[in-house]
Amino acid sequence: MVTENVEVFYGDSRAIKGISLDIRENEVIAFIGPSGCGKSTFLRSLNRMNDTIQGCRVTGRITLDDEDIYDPSLDVVLLRARIGMVFQKPNPFPKSIYDNVAYGARLHGLAKSRHDLDDIVEDSLRKAGLWEEVRDRLQQPGTGLSGGQQQRLCIARAIAVSPEVILMDEPCSALDPIATARIEELINELSTQYTIAIVTHSMQQAARVSHRTAYFHLGELIEVNDTEKVFTNPDHDLTEAYITGRFG
Ligand SMILES: Nc1ncnc2c1ncn2[C@@H]1O[C@H](COP(=O)(O)OP(=O)(O)O)[C@@H](O)[C@H]1O
Ligand SMILES: [Mg+2]
C-alpha cells in the first residue's frame, strides 16, 4: 500500500498531517507513539473504516496495488475483505464459531458447496492457530471462548476471505501475557503470507513482531525505519525521547 500526503480531519480538527508512507508486501510494520497521536485514525484510513465515523474526512491518496481505495466506484465491503481489521477488544459475532469464520466467505460467495465452506473454515482456523482447540465445538458460540481464543477467532474470520493486508489496532491490549505471546507468535507466522500493520503501545511488542516501525507524534509521521534501528539508534530526537521513556 502507498499513502501520499494523507490528512484526516474530525470536523475542523486535523488529526493526521500529511503522512506519506509505503507499506511493503509481506512486512509487519508497527505504528507506535503517545496516546492520541493518531495511530488508530491513520490505521482506519487504510481500509476506509473512518467512513463510518460521522464528520471524519480523509484527503490525499491511498492505494492498494496501485488502485485508489477512495475511488467512489470501489466496493467498500470488498475492500475491507482485501484489507481486514482486528480490533483492540475481540469482537466475535453472536454466532457459532463456525459461522463467525464462514461469515465473510458466505457474504462474498467464496464457497461453491458446504464442503468448500468447511474447508475454508478449517483452513482459516488452522492458520489462526485455533483449530485444535475448537474442532470439536464448532457449533458453540464464539463469545464462549477465552479472550485470547476470541482474538484468534477474529483473526481467522479476517483470514477466511483471503485478505492481502491485515490491520491490527492494539490486538493484545485486552489479553493476558500468555494469550499475548500466542498472538505475537501468530503474527510472525502470518507475515509469510500477509502484509500486517499493527498499532501497539508496547515497544517490546513492536520490537518482537515488526520488521519496520513508524513513530507518530501529534498527527505526524516522525520516522519510519527498520525496527532494530528505531529502538537502538533512531534518526529523530522525538523518537529517541519516546523510546527512552522521556514522554508518552
Ligand atoms: N471519532 C473521533 N471524533 C473526534 N476526534 C477523534 C475521534 N477519534 C479520534 N479523535 C481524535 O484524533 C486524535 C488521534 O486519535 P487516535 O487516532 O485515537 O490516536 P491513538 O490511536 O494514537 O491514541 C486525538 O486527538 C483524538 O482525540
Ligand atoms: Mg488508538
**66 located within any domain:** yes
Task: Please give the model's pTM, rounded to 2 decimal places.
Answer: 0.96
Expressed in angstroms and rounded, the spacing between residue 109 Cα and the centre of ligand 1 is 35
Residue 196 maps to a domain: yes
Residues of the chain with pLDDT under 50: none
Give the three cell numbers for residue 127.
492458520
Cβ of residue 38 lying under 6 Å from some atom of ligand 1: yes
What is the atom index within ligand 1 of the atom nearest the CA of 13? 5
Sort residue 238 into left (φ over 0), alpha (ψ -120 to 50) or beta: alpha
Tell me if 248 is assigned to some domain: no
pLDDT at 246: 80
Which residue's alpha carbon is nearest to atom 16 within ligand 1? 38
Tell me what pLDDT residue 243 has: 95
Answer for the pair 117, 105: CB distance below 8 angstroms, yes or no: yes
Question: How many other β-carbons are positioned within 10 Å of the β-carbon of residue 9?
Answer: 16
Q: How far is the CA of 33 from the centre of ligand 1 (A)?
A: 13
Cell numbers representing residue 131 in the block: 483449530
CA of 35 to the centre of ligand 2 (A): 7
Number of structural domains found in the chain: 1
Q: From residue 81, how far is each of 110, 159, 191 by CA, in Å? A: 12, 9, 17
Return the CA Rg of the chain. Answer: 18
Does some domain include residue 200?
A: yes
- Distance CA(23)–CA(53), nearest Å, equals 24
Q: Which of 41, 43, 45, 242 best tests ligand 1's pocket when mutated (most atoms within 8 Å of CB)? A: 41
Does residue 167 form part of some domain?
A: yes
Bridge pairing between strands 165-169 and 195-199: parallel
Q: How far is the CA of 167 from the centre of ligand 2 (A)?
A: 12
Instruction: Using alpha carbons, select from 62, 98, 110, 55 the residue that is nearest to residue 83.
Output: 62
Residue 36 CA to ligand 2 center (angstroms) comes to: 7
**Which CATH number does the domain housing residue 141 bear?**
3.40.50.300
Closest to 97 (Cα-Cα) out of 70, 135, 60, 47 = 135
Measure the N-to-C terminal CA separation of the chain; round to a whole number of Å: 28
Is 20 contained in some domain? yes
Inside any domain, residue 183? yes
User: Could you count the other beta carbons within 10 Å of the beta carbon of residue 72?
Assistant: 6
Atom number in ligand 1 closest to CA 44 = 17
Answer whether 79's CB lies under 8 Å from 165's CB.
no
Q: Are strands 220-226 and 195-199 parallel, antiparallel or unpaired?
A: unpaired
- Residue of 6, 10, 12 to mutate, ligand 1, most atoms within 8 A of C-beta: 10
- The verdict on the CB of residue 15 being under 6 Å from ligand 1 is yes
Closest Cα to residue 182, out of 134, 149, 222, 159? 149
Domain containing 12: what range?
A: 2-243
Q: Can you list the alpha helix ranges (DSSP code H) found in 160-214?
A: 177-190, 203-209
